Structure 1
Amino acid sequence: MDAAQFETHAAHEQKHWWFVARRQILSQVLLELAPPGSPLLDVGCGTGANAAWFAEQFPTTGIDVSRYAIELARQRFPQVRFACGTIEDIEPETCQQIRLVTLLDVLEHVPDDLQVFSQLLSRITLGTHVVVTVPAGKDLWSPHDQALGHYRRYSAERLSLVWKGLPVECRLLTHFNARLYGPIRLVRSLTRKRQQSAGHQGTDLALPPKPINAALRYCFAGEAKRIVRSLQRGGAGGYAHGVSLLAVLKRTEGEVRVRTRSPEVPGDYYDPITKRYLED
């Protein structure tokens, strides 16, 4: 993401229905995993609104590789701790204290998601939970993804390859933003045909009128009850389709060897020059 996209996020993430509803869902998931006061690390925190929201219940550190994003986050939320860098730059003492990690719409921004996730897992301690979200469905690929610098959209099977063979217990893997899947799929189909996004700076982000924004937020956030119930039931009963995927993972005992993409994982990232997935 470049400066224009970060500014677009900063302008929308405190009011736009998608950002707000997602935080409401994730907050309930986090409270199911750990009591308030548990230290949380938000990896790929961007311009900081998620970290600021979580910090109301959990001592939170946000980290991102973009210095521009971190500067925006510090200006907007001075009460939250932010750092510029990667997980490798977090002090070992801090990593030892962390009990919750959020990795929210980050993996689609890196060419080698296996490497990034295994690096993260190698730094956290036994019993720490990692909450991952990614955009779902290659059929939803559109100019919105291109503008945000996405390498891929995920299927549940593809996402599970990220932690395959690692010391991880998958407690939940479900789609979400399921109730609005049909309308969003229609919009993405139209923008893909036109090769033109529906919002600002090449994205689909645009704040609807207040009543519509509130209705969309209510509809999306209403998925929280089913998602938490699915987590309580060991992953059963989640959503089979949706615009995004949510995984809840728990670090278990065992050594983590930092790895790179293996032959069993498809070379599925998007080439902006040919405008095709490399697996096509």
Structure 2
Amino acid sequence: MYYQDSDGIYVPQKPVTHRNDEFVEDQFAHLFEMQSKHFWYLGRHRFLLESLKRHQASENFSAIDLGGGCGGWVQYLTQTIPNRLTDLALADSSRVALLNAKGVLDEDVDLYHVDLMDLQMQEQWNTAYLLDVIEHCPDDVTVMREAAKALKPGGKLFVATPALDFFWSYNDEFVKHVRRYDKRKYQELAKNSGLILKDARYFMFFLSPLYWLSRKTRPKELNEEQMAKLYKEEYKTPHPIINNVLKAVFYAETPLGHHLSFPWGTSILGVFEKPNSKLNLY
């Protein structure tokens, strides 16, 4: 279904159009700058890696990061568990993101230009990731079903999203979130996509009071230029001292948050499994 173009990116026969109304493509350059050093990304990576070690029993496995942007998670995998990965790929609807990622990822990481609503992949991967992706998608069930199709029987899908409507703020609207999730919504996603929810747990628990306070006051109405400026302010890496303190607090959730279940958190991680029997939803 895919062929490699002159940039070394695997593209489908049908051209892919990035949906700017779901994630503004101009924001990828800013994301690229912060993905390897911001405390939130580093803390999430650490929490997710612990989950991967617990739920992916295979010594060696293939993996694809769907909607993986500029490749922060893929780069982290190559740095932490390179010997376990047989095939590794980054997939996104934005060529801007993929070309940014190409400059930092190992040459053996495959890059796919994809439409998450029509992946055109069948039983190809042992593991897939949707990390802070489906909250941007009006039709999250179709995205989950497409990811399920791409998995081999028994494969695992790791999904991370913003959690709990209580934490909804102007920022969710600002970055084009459609919804936040909880454990009940993850159960519904599993049922509607033909997957089995093996685990669901909240994270960024320790920092949630600070998060809530920082988002409590809604900014006044802003024009497009002011909103772009606010975005850069909100999503910049803090001063190194502050960043290191926040990183240490977030790091304390791993492995603690996998031994006990936090009652809440600003994010939620779900581990979904594809049954070995054929799914009827396809």
Q: What TM-score do you get using the length of structure 2 for normalisation?
A: 0.79
1:85 paired residue among 102, 114, 126: 114
Identical aligned residues as a percent: 23
2:167 paired residue among 134, 137, 140: 140
Give the number of aligned pairs: 247
1:199-210 counterparts in 2 under 5 A? 200-201=230-231, 204-210=234-240
The offset of 1:165, in angstroms, is 4.8
Verify the 8 A CA contact 1:140 1:189 in the aligned structure 2.
no
Verify the 8 A CA contact 1:143 1:203 in the aligned structure 2.
no
For 2:216 and 2:202, the matched residues in 1 are separated by 19
Q: Which residue of 2 aligns with 1:265?
A: none
1:168-187 counterparts in 2 under 5 A? 168-187=195-214
AA partner of residue 145 (structure 2): S
Larger deviation: 119-128 or 29-38?
A: 29-38
AA partner of residue 99 (structure 1): N
Deviations 1:69-88 (A, max 9, x none): 11111123243321111354
SS of 1:206's equivalent?
coil
Larger deviation: 38-47 or 148-157?
A: 148-157
Q: Does 1:8 align with 2:8?
A: no
For 2:37 and 2:266, the matched residues in 1 are separated by 19
For 1:227 and 1:244, the matched residues in 2 are separated by 12
Q: Which residue of 2 aligns with 1:257?
A: 281
Gaps spanning 5+ residues in structure 2: where? 1-22
Q: Which residue of 2 aligns with 1:158?
A: 185
Q: Which residue of 2 aligns with 1:41?
A: 64
Deviations 1:186-215 (A, max 9, x none): 11112x254677985367212111121111
SS of 1:170's equivalent?
strand
Deviations 1:150-180 (A, max 9, x none): 1112232223211125543222111110111
Q: 1:24 to 1:215 in 2, by over 3 A?
A: same
Q: Which has the higher strand share?
A: 2
Q: 1:193 to 1:77 in 2, by over 3 A?
A: same
Q: What TM-score do you get using the length of structure 1 for normalisation?
A: 0.80
AA partner of residue 206 (structure 1): K
SS of 2:231's equivalent?
coil
Q: CA RMSD in A?
A: 2.3
SS of 1:179's equivalent?
coil
For 2:193 and 2:176, the matched residues in 1 are separated by 27
SS of 2:201's equivalent?
strand
Gaps spanning 5+ residues in structure 1: where? 230-236, 259-280
